[in-house]
Structure 1
Amino acid sequence: MAEFVVGPRLYSCWNCRNHVSLHDDIISKAFQGKNGRAFLFSHAMNVVLGTKEDRNLLTGLHTVADIYCGDCRDILGWKYERAYEASQKYKEGKFILEKCKIVKENW
């Protein structure tokens, strides 16, 4: 019997299918984006960072940079650059990808 090999489970840009993150990099699915549910990832790939700016989010003031698909340049979410409250420091360097902006691949 032949062995079936499955590649890594990925998330891709909803618009152009550019791979942007691995399922194994999800930290939490309990986040809120601009357009609804969002996932917190430890890493993102094939994305472009926008300009850093301070933003008041649900959990307080953060310095964030929007992230865009590296291929089609559609906005996918943001990267936490700095958290000003001690309880939010774990987000620094992490990525928010909005659920409506990504699709599953290899599932």
Structure 2
Amino acid sequence: MSSAKSSPSKVLRAFEGRPSFQCSNCSAVIALKDELISKSFSGRDGRGYLMHSAINIRMGGKEDRPLLTGVHTVADVFCVGCGDRLGWFYHKASDQSQKYKEGKYLLERERLVKDNAWTLDV
């Protein structure tokens, strides 16, 4: 009988050789470069990347947080490898012009490293 779930090793093989972002503390793969939407965002500790998706993360509790663009319902995201806070997930934006962020991740640049020697124009 075949399982519909992919094993972790199959998932990691799917990411092999593809440009990715990794946790700067433990090197866990967090997101593929292909998931990058924008590099023009601000996190708590500096610049951040808006991403379509992320893996190897644990989500904290939801909270309403005043950010530069208004109040958003967000949840901090943490690396499953080491527990470091990497950024947050946008659950809900109160302002209509910010709705595009819903369901996306803000990952802080200082908490990530780029793998596979690819470059990101700054």
TM-score of Structure 1 vs Structure 2, range by shorter chain: over 0.9
Q: Which has the higher contact order (CA 8 A, sep 6+)?
A: 1
Paired residue for 2:102? 92
The Cα of 1:75 is off from its aligned counterpart by 0.2
Structure 1 residue ranges without an equivalent (≥5): 1-5
2:43 & 2:94 partners in 1: Cα distance?
19
Deviations 1:16-58 (A, max 9, x none): 0000000010000000001110000000000000000000000
1:27 & 1:10 partners in 2: Cα distance?
14
Paired residue for 1:106? 116
1 or 2, which has the higher helix percentage? Answer: 2
RMSD of aligned alpha carbons: 0.9
The Cα of 1:66 is off from its aligned counterpart by 0.1
Query: Which runs of at least 4 in structure 1 moved beyond 2 Å after TM superposition?
Result: none
Are positions 1:41 and 2:51 aligned together?
Answer: yes
3-state SS in 1 of match to 2:103? coil
1 or 2, which has the higher strand percentage? Answer: 1
Structure 2 residue ranges without an equivalent (≥5): 1-15, 118-122
> Percent identical across equivalent pairs?
50
1:37 & 1:45 partners in 2: Cα distance?
20
Paired residue for 2:39? 29
Paired residue for 1:18? 28
The number of residues matched between the two structures is: 102
TM-score (norm 1): 0.93
Paired residue for 1:72? 82
